[in-house]
Amino acid sequence: MEKTKQLLAVVSALALGFGLSSEALTAGASAPVRINPERVLALDIGKHGETVFAVGERGLVWSAESGKDWSAQRTSTSRTLTAIAFGDGASGVAVGHAASLFRTEDGGKNWVPVKVDAGPSDALLGVTCLGGERFVAYGTFGLYLESTDGGKTWSRESIKIQESAGASSPADGEGEFDRHIMKIVRLDKKLLLIGESGTLAESADEGKSWRRLAVPYEGSFFGAVVSQRGAVVLHGMRGNVFRSTDGGASWTRIPLNTVSAVNGGTVLADGRIVLVGNNGLVAVSADDGASFKTGATRGGGDISQAVEAKAGSLLVAGASGIRQFDLDSLKN
């Protein structure tokens, strides 16, 4: 199995530093704190309506209307939070190291801890809303949790991936999948599971069973973006990007002018695809992911995720905190 340091470097460093000891969770509302969002480690960022939310170190959840005037809330953990997602209504979930999981039912004003079937050495690396009140949270060594009530209760599910003819990744046989799950995305009526060691699997029954898809790459994937026209763009280590226009049946390598890790991505309102990564990497596609123009943010720094602030403007989260910049200002 590949070492976790091949994942986003800052995530792994914090996992070693903070993720191995337990911490009691106390119920109650999260507390507001004063902190500069450009001086923190932020690992995920996304929108709920017109409000932008970000999570990262010290169990903090940041929020801002339209990406301006950030405020932070301290949750009942000091562990690093790695991901955040909202449902169709006011429910949302944030996850992180030491199996930390928080939910909100008031659109992010308050965050309450939820106990789950996972131990203090487990790390949740991502969370996805699959529609309505259904969420899945996932992470290290095959950890996979599911909620159908907006995050109030969670069941731990085992992942068994059926091998497919021509699959290039190492076989797991009929045993339980025990590698890191980095992302779950919805593609039409099926789910895609993206993970380390070239893992890509699909489920046609909402996650009850999984079938491995063949991908011509054995390194770790960190995520995937589904375009407005249904193309899937996988991204991972050393600038590796692959694209499929047939639901994952076949893949084409998309060259990037970089060997930096590609950590996250988003789709802009005008249909352009933006990928972000280490060393300030920002890659933009205007042709549904068939090609990308690469650049870098001024000041560099590893970027974990991005979201559109306004037309032509991005908010990014990463090792240099939460920053906003115009795509036209990228360095080529």
Q: What is the pLDDT of residues 197-230, one digit of tens each?
A: 999 999 999 999 999 999 989 999 999 999 999 9
What was the pLDDT predicted at 332?
Answer: 66
Residue 177 is encoded by which pair of tokens? 């999948």
* Residue 19 DSSP SS3: coil
| Per-residue pLDDT tens over the stretch 232-251 | 999 999 999 999 999 999 99
Q: Are the C-beta atoms of 327 and 312 separated by less than 8 Å?
A: yes
| Per-residue pLDDT tens over the stretch 113-164 | 999 999 999 999 999 999 999 999 999 999 999 999 999 999 999 999 998 7
Tally of helices (H runs) and strands (E runs) in the chain = 1, 29
Q: What is the pTM of this model?
A: 0.88
Distance CA 116, CA 322 (A): 29
Confidence of residue 311 (pLDDT cuts 50, 70, 90): confident
Of residues 32 and 304, more confidence is placed in 304
Percent of the chain, pLDDT > 90? 75
DSSP code string of 55-117: EEGGGEEEEEETTEEEEEEE-S--SPEEEEEE-SSS-EEEEEBTT-EEEESSTTS--EE---S
Distance CA 119, CA 281 (A): 34
- Contact partners, residue 121, CB within 8 Å, separation at least 6: 19, 20, 98
Which H or E run includes 16?
Answer: helix 9-18
Average pLDDT over residues 276-281: 96
What was the pLDDT predicted at 293?
Answer: 96
Look over the chain and give the mean of its residue pLDDT values, rounded to a whole number.
87
Is the per-residue pLDDT at 6 higher than 90?
A: no
- The distance in angstroms from the start CA to the end CA of the chain is 35
Residue with tokens 């790390």: 123
| Per-residue pLDDT tens over the stretch 22-39 | 233 434 445 566 678 888
What was the pLDDT predicted at 171?
Answer: 44
Which H or E run includes 13?
Answer: helix 9-18
Is the per-residue pLDDT at 21 higher than 70?
A: no
Confidence of residue 13 (pLDDT cuts 50, 70, 90): very low
Of residues 296 and 82, more confidence is placed in 82
| Sheet containing strand 68-74, strands side by side | 31-33, 68-74, 60-65, 51-56, 42-48
What was the pLDDT predicted at 12?
Answer: 40
